[in-house]
Amino acid sequence: MVASDDAGPGVTTRRRHTARWVAGVALVVGAALVALLATSPPQTVTEVDTPLVGQSAPAISGPTLAGGSFALGSLRGRWTVVNFFASWCAPCQQEQPDLVAFAYAHRSPGDAALVGVVFDDASSTARSFMRSTGATWPAVVDAGGQIALDYGVRGPPETFIVSPEGTVVAHFDGPMTNASLDYWLNRAQGGRG
Amino acid sequence: MNAALGHSGVLLSLAASVMGVVVIAYGLARSRPALARTGRIYAALVLLGAIVATVAMERALITHDFSLAFVAANNSRSTPLLYTITGMWSALAGSILLWGLILAGYIAAMVWRFRRQGADPLVAWATLVTLVVAAFFFGLMAGPADPFRTVAGAVPANGLGPNVLLQDNALVAFHPPILYLGFVGFTIPFAFAIASLITGRIGEGWQLATRRWTLFAWAFLTVGIVLGAWWSYQVLGWGGFWAWDPVENASFLPWLCATAYLHSVLVQERRGLLRVWNLSLVIATFSLTILGTFLTRSGVIASVHAFSDSDIGPLLLGFFGVVMATGVGLIAWRGDRLRSPGGIDSVLSREGAFLVNNLLFVAFAFVVLLGTVFPLLYEAFRGQQVTVGAPYFNAMTLPIGLALLLLMSIGPALPWRKTTTSTLRDRLAVPAWVGAIVIVACVAGGVRGLGPLVAFGLGGFAAAANVRQLVLSARGAHRSGAGVWRGLVGRANGGMVVHLGVVVIAVALAAATSFGHRSEVTLRPGQVASSDGHRITFEGLTQIRTPARTATEAIVLVDGRGPLLPALSQFGANTEEVGTPAIDSSLEDDVYLTVDALPVKANGPVTIGVTVQPLVVWLWGGGLLLVLGSALAAVPGKRRRPTDPVSAPVPAVETGDGSSGSGDATGASRPVLRRARPVVESGESGESGDDKPAQEPVPAGSP
């Protein structure tokens, strides 16, 4: 990054092309960085076909990390995104900002809601994770892992889209992006006319 | 109405900056100074447009004009006035507007400051560069990040309000504008760096003239970073203040480069060395502010600021590429001819210390940059996702930080050019004893652990060494009859106070991260628990209902003090509940309380998160010292010569060793061989650094 002159103590009076060489290297490194940032691949997510799709969503209820309590039934009538996550999982950390952006973009009343379910993680670390990333959606503590079991979740992050009637309409394995969530949500909504 | 007003403001600024670029470029190409100096008119117009746009935005926010999409998304009728005003920078488009306003202010200040040299090609080039930057940002506002876009369809009756986390603490009124004052301020030194490279007039002291601008921007960036840490601590509720979040890193990277520059420019001033290096640092600092903005605003990298996700990423990345290629290209073209002859005599000298300082800061910046972009690198080459967490940053930056503390102790005691070990022994004996005593006292006081003990010891060493400089300087000023305060102002002495602030922050960081402890207590009303030496009493819950906020507060006493009210809050209807921490601060430690679980049924137990961290208050105190030191540094010290860098153009060949003529791009009048500033033209005659009058009192040279 830093284009540098020769800063070493041995700068001599002989004419050398140090600055040019260093600048050349810096340019190559910089160009590589720009290329990398410009072409960084979209995060991969795959839709998985599980028996749950088309079935009614198993209940999710319990205390939230924020300190309140939550029940999935209270979101009946809204499109809901259920996200199983853990603070120790790298793809979860990867997708978190996109979830933050998604939740923020859909924060008007009646819009799609986002619910997190803690997967195999201590409440305190999961809470720090949520708070330090600025996440404000409810995250349910899944004591005993029953919710994960009901949804057939094997490893986070896994994400489900639940219709306003409480039916699971899609299941994804891997980190979601704001754009892909919007895409799938639109598709699910459109598919119902 | 507001939309029309705002759009006209943005378009006025955009048109004025583009026109300015064209006219100045034409004036420079045709050597018409009268045209080249019209920059001031365009700068004034850019500022006018930015002010009009900002007034339009604030007016729309305050009058709840929900016909603007930005207002509808970031304001509501129940938002308190303060957060209505700060709503301007609570999302992307408005932040860019704030950026544009501050940039326009800086440009106007710059052309006013150099108004008498407006026809100088170098000033004209610098003005041109700043106007190019302005054109980019106002172009963003005219296109993809339009803050005045109107809502499609019916105008909503009410807006959504700002992000709940941004309406919880008055710090949002200060953190972003102050941070931007820092970020944007680096545009001016950058413009002068580019201008001196283009004109080949690197040896004239323009860089020294813009050093104050860098110092100003640096001070605001520093305060902005500290305020950001404070906000994170006060609002987010995880008990931490620095997460090595990419956006935090994005503000920290230019800070590191600018800090390195503020040190190494002194070597240029005193010895005429490191000229190209200094230009590189200035260019790197500015490039990193753009890269930082890209990382923040593009969603490429995971971050707590991701709510401002947007699609201007490619444009910012392209701009970063252009800025970097321009800077690096110019250095490749000019650098070797402009390098100062001569070198550093001895590593054991002030300039040697500055050199080591620079290497450490650049290594620091490299480590942080690598950690920030590593997930992308790894994904590109291995196809897997990884995250680089705090452990990497802590492990990598700890040794660099300790080395910087050590250098901060020794550096100020070193004279320029060279020294003897006996001089050094005389000057460092007392501070070294202080450091040793601190370590012994800490061990006796029960502190264990190598890292923190070394940090505390070096902290004591550095603090004593810098206090010693201040005492000597004050005593010298007193003896010369100038008043003790004279010995505390000026760049060198202000710098010592800044060093003290850094020491305080370093000690606080070492203590808080090494000895912080987090636990949870579950209590029924009236019950008491003990946590890390503190008595936590839970008295009960209460409901708060104000128009802006609905909350369940836990009433908690810490060691009988209080009440502290950690809460679960809801800001406006239909928003999620967020935790609101409560903090009991003392000089010794902070007790940080959060509500982690409310009772399921009435009078059930409440779970309260208790984080006890020592010396957190020292962080904010150190921040205040940084502000104080920067302010002292801005007051001219005694024996200061006026900084007037004006001179006849000196061709690049003059400054080098007489290699072939330069491709002087300015078309400016050809060399009038007048020596501009002996400071930088002194070449390698080693005496120059010592027998010219010092620009500042340099205490180390005088005991």
Cβ(A162)–Cβ(A80) under 8 Å?
A: yes
Q: Which of B132-141, B352-361, B442-451, B679-688 has the lowest mean pLDDT?
A: B679-688
Question: Above 90 in pLDDT, residue B624?
Answer: yes
Residue among A16, A17, A132 whose CB faces B304 most closely = A132
- In angstroms, the CA B408 to CA B389 distance is 28
3-state secondary structure of A4: coil
Which residues contact residue B135 at a Cβ distance below 8 angstroms, ignoring those fewer than 6 apart? B14, B17, B18, B21
Q: What is the share, in percent, of chain B residues with pLDDT greater than 90?
A: 42
Residues of A in contact with B306 (CB under 8 A): 96-98, 100-101, 133-134
Burial class (CB in 10 A: 0-12, 13-18, 19+), B678: exposed
Interface touch A13/B281, C-beta < 8 Å: no
Interface touch A13/B341, C-beta < 8 Å: yes
Cβ(B75)–Cβ(B95) under 8 Å?
A: no
Residue B265 dihedral angles phi and psi, to the nearest 5°: -65, -25
Chain B touched by A128 (CB under 8 Å) = yes
Q: Where are the domains of chain A?
A: 1-40, 46-191
Residues of A in contact with B160 (CB under 8 A): 107-108
Among B307, B346, B522, most A C-beta atoms within 10 A, so best to mutate, is B307
Report, as an integer, the average pLDDT of B72-76. Answer: 87
Residues of B in contact with A31 (CB under 8 A): 321, 325
Question: Above 90 in pLDDT, residue A7?
Answer: no
**Rounded to the nearest 5 degrees, what angle is found at the Cα of B316, between the Cα atoms of B44 and B363?**
105
**Selected residue with higher pLDDT from B339 and B426:** B426
Interface touch A2/B239, C-beta < 8 Å: no
Closest chain A CA to residue B295: A37
Q: In the prediction, which pLDDT does A40 show?
A: 63
Report, as an integer, the average pLDDT of B493-505. Answer: 94
Query: CA dist B267 to B185, B368, B454, Å?
Result: 23, 26, 30
Residues of B in contact with A27 (CB under 8 A): 324-325, 328-329, 332
When pLDDT is cut at 50, 70 and 90, the band that residue B695 belongs to is very low
Chain B touched by A182 (CB under 8 Å) = no
Distance from CA of A15 to the nearest CA of B (A): 7
Q: What is the 3-state secondary structure (H, E, C) of B494-551?
A: HHHHHHHHHHHHHHHHHHHHHHCEEEEEEECCCCEEEECCEEEEEEEEEEEECCCCEE
Closest CA to B203 of B688, B589, B675: B675
- In angstroms, the CA B39 to CA B107 distance is 10
Residues of B in contact with A108 (CB under 8 A): 160, 574
Question: Residues 70-99, chain A: which have Cβ within 8 Å of B?
Answer: 90-91, 93-94, 96-98
ipTM: 0.76
Strand bridging mode B528-531 / B567-570:
unpaired
CATH architecture of A46-191: 3-Layer(aba) Sandwich (3.40)
Question: Above 60 in pLDDT, residue B131?
Answer: yes
Closest chain B CA to residue A133: B304
Greatest C-alpha distance within chain B: 88
Distance from CA of A169 to the nearest CA of B (A): 24
pTM: 0.84
Residue A12 dihedral angles phi and psi, to the nearest 5°: -110, 175
Mean of pLDDT over chain A: 81
Interface touch B342/A7, C-beta < 8 Å: no
β strands within A42-164, DSSP E: 46-47, 61-63, 69-71, 80-85, 113-118, 139-140, 158-162
Interface touch A13/B276, C-beta < 8 Å: no
Interface touch B578/A66, C-beta < 8 Å: yes
Is the omega angle on the peptide bond into residue B563 within 30 degrees of 0, that is, cis?
A: yes
